Amino acid sequence: MKTLKEKTKKLVAATERLLQDFERERSERNNEREKLSSRIEELETELKDMSAKSAKASEVSISNPINQSPDTVALSAENIDALVEEIDACLNLLKI
């Protein structure tokens, strides 16, 4: 009888530790998800701003192509590509 009680106590203690670990991990995942969501929102805002700037720049370049160098166009495209890749990476992490 004593052995059964001891085993039961050990089992209950192990179960409690597992539950605590599970709750801690779930809390950490939720915190990470919130951080990633916040970062995605920041990147989306930045992407919208850059898209607006790009649209404005393309209007200027259409009306006056001499004012914009190819380096400026390439830099803007590189920034937009980098933002899109970072947003994709964040979205993939959220799908975990």
Mind spelling out the 3-state secondary structure of 7-52? HHHHHHHHHHHHHHHHHHHHHHHHHHHHHHHHHHHHHHHHHHHHHH
- Rounded Cα gap, residues 83 and 53, in angstroms: 14
pLDDT at 12: 94
Q: What does the alpha-carbon distance between residue 13 and residue 28 come to, in Å, rounded to a whole number?
A: 23
In order along its 96 residues, the chain shows pLDDT tens digits of 679 999 999 999 999 999 999 999 999 999 999 999 999 999 999 888 888 888 787 776 555 555 556 655 566 777 888 888 888 888 888 876
Please give the pLDDT value at position 75: 63
Nearest to 52 by CA among 41, 44, 64: 44
